[in-house]
Structure 1
Amino acid sequence: MSTSEADENRSDADAKRSDYVGALARGLAVIEAFGRTTPELTLSEVAQLTGMSPATARRNLHTLEELGFVKRHNKRFLLAPRVLTLGSAFLQAANVDEAVMPELRRIVTLFGDAASMATLEGTDILYIAHFSELRAARRTASVGVTYPAYATSMGRILLAGLPPAELAAYWHELRPTKLTDVTVTDRDALAAIVEEARRAGYTVAVDQLDYGITSLSVPVKNEAGRVVAAINTSGYSPRLDAQKLVEERLAELQVSAGRIAHLLARYPGLAHSLLR
């Protein structure tokens, strides 16, 4: 890198730091503290989960309450319905319904079960689209949900598409835990699975995230050939043989991935938002 390029990069980094609004970041951190296992939180719990002082957490909660994103019930705080506008704004602006949902519905029409699209968010996958006909009890796969990338087929195919430096950083940061008795947590074994996914262009996961979930995933690439998302077809493990799943569904899943990739050029908002 030349001296001028290095100076330019430092200038960009300095500009980003100077433009960083800590108050906004703290407000968003408070919203993200709520979840399936933490639907209601006390002030002290919010402070602990976000790493804020109680006074800072209180100011953020009060502001979010005034704005209608948080409500209070018996000295506990919970998210208000208005918070859904934050996620729906992305779905509308990125045209997810037009660019992605038709293909997920097509896959479910062909094979039943469920189909989803996700992208990487840190060490997790983040669901940005989902369609299902399933009625069985299972982990929720819906828009906005995150799960550990190492334990999902979409996560593994997304990891397979990372540049070497980013993948190395992921392995360094990863702290895998057993989610089922068969969840692979050995780093070498996971690395081999990801490498095989990169070579094959698809991957299957059986009972890795939760019992009864088998899924097949393929990557979605942008015009530059970069993996920006993944789509899957998934169903109930006792009814799905992994090899048969590949034989029956892989070709159609790849067709859908190709169609979505083609549509990204028509929806630049979605294409740009998927870039890491």
Structure 2
Amino acid sequence: MVETGEKPAEFVEALAKGIGILEAFDAANPEMTLSEVARRVGLSPAAARRSLLTLETLGYIGRREKRFHLRPKLMALGSAFYFSARIDEVLQEDLRGIVDRFGDASSVGTLDGEDVIYVAHVTVQRARRAAAVAGARYPAYATSMGRVLLAGLPDEKIDAYLRAYTPRKLTSRTCTNPQALRAAIMVARRDGHATTVDQLDYGITALAVPIRGPDGATIAALNTSGYTGMITPEQLVEERLPALQEAASHIAHQLTRYPTLRAVLGG
């Protein structure tokens, strides 16, 4: 989980504003006017305009009439991360092994603030539902990986998360009650895994386990998921938990040989 605190003296506000603008575009806001960008990021129109024009000049943002949008060049930043961290070498093989064996989907994620960021993902699914592609981020409270990652935090950080998070009902089954969520996190800590049913989106039943560093601390999570109605949490645990734990152990061992990826994941 990202720690918040005072900004260092060398903090570059202009760079932070530019990154904030890039992060403001999403599926719900693929195009925005200058005023919409400024309002969404919390900048003055003048400051937003300077950042937008800079990003446009660099090729990361385009414009259609008065509406701005992201450009494909931005994908180069993501691919640079993917290849420099050796994700294909270290993570994808184990995910493919899980999917080849059980079908459905498998992911690795890590905490970033209140969210889980999916670092790697393999799927055979084609259903229309929440997309768990690499780079996607979802509320930690609504995912099996998020609950496993939260379970790996000290109690005071779990309490801080529960005080700060802003839950919303993603489905009728999404748990947004802080006491109930804390209880689920404690169960995940006790059991060493977490399951969820239709918490993030309808049709997703998932099981996650921690990936631990050499000191035993949780640095990432690994999951497998299937279709609600076709598989139950109990079946996931019975049929897939040993394989998932074995894959998590193998990934943890691999990370000792790839310090950059281990650092990326927070270990």
TM category (shorter chain) comes to over 0.9
CA distance in structure 1 between the partners assigned to 2:83 and 2:214 by the alignment: 22
Quote how far apart the aligned CAs of 1:15 are: 10
| Residue 100 of structure 1, aligned match among 79, 91, 103 | 91
| Residue 55 of structure 1, aligned match among 46, 49, 63 | 46
Query: What is the letter of the counterpart of residue 80 of structure 1?
Result: R
Secondary structure of 2:28's aligned partner:
coil
- Residue 272 (str. 1) matches residue 263 (str. 2): yes
Equivalent in the alignment of 1:89:
80
What RMSD over aligned residues (CA atoms) do the two structures have, in Å?
1.5
- Residue 179 (str. 1) matches residue 170 (str. 2): yes
Equivalent in the alignment of 1:230:
221
CA distance in structure 2 between the partners assigned to 1:47 and 1:94 by the alignment: 33
Query: What is the letter of the counterpart of residue 117 of structure 1?
Result: V
| Residue 197 of structure 1, aligned match among 188, 193, 214 | 188
Query: What is the letter of the counterpart of residue 183 of structure 1?
Result: T
| Residue 36 of structure 1, aligned match among 21, 27, 31 | 27
Give the TM-score of the pair, scaled to structure 1: 0.93
Equivalent in the alignment of 1:7:
none
Change (3 A) 1:110 1:174: same
- Residue 79 (str. 1) matches residue 70 (str. 2): yes
Secondary structure of 2:229's aligned partner:
helix
Runs of 4+ in structure 1 off by over 3 angstroms are: 13-16
CA distance in structure 2 between the partners assigned to 1:220 and 1:207 by the alignment: 24
Moved more, 100-109 or 165-174: 165-174
> Gaps (5+ residues) in structure 2?
none
CA distance in structure 2 between the partners assigned to 1:78 and 1:251 by the alignment: 44
Quote how far apart the aligned CAs of 1:83 are: 0.5
Query: What is the letter of the counterpart of residue 24 of structure 2?
Result: A
| Residue 150 of structure 1, aligned match among 141, 147, 157 | 141
Quote how far apart the aligned CAs of 1:16 are: 5.9
- Residue 46 (str. 1) matches residue 37 (str. 2): yes
Larger % of helix: which? 1
Quote how far apart the aligned CAs of 1:166 are: 1.7
Query: What is the letter of the counterpart of residue 232 of structure 1?
Result: N
- Residue 139 (str. 1) matches residue 140 (str. 2): no
Moved more, 166-175 or 14-23: 14-23
CA distance in structure 2 between the partners assigned to 1:266 and 1:90 by the alignment: 18
- Residue 128 (str. 1) matches residue 125 (str. 2): no
- Aligned residue pairs, count: 264
CA distance in structure 2 between the partners assigned to 1:15 and 1:39 by the alignment: 32
Equivalent in the alignment of 2:106:
115
Secondary structure of 1:119's aligned partner:
strand
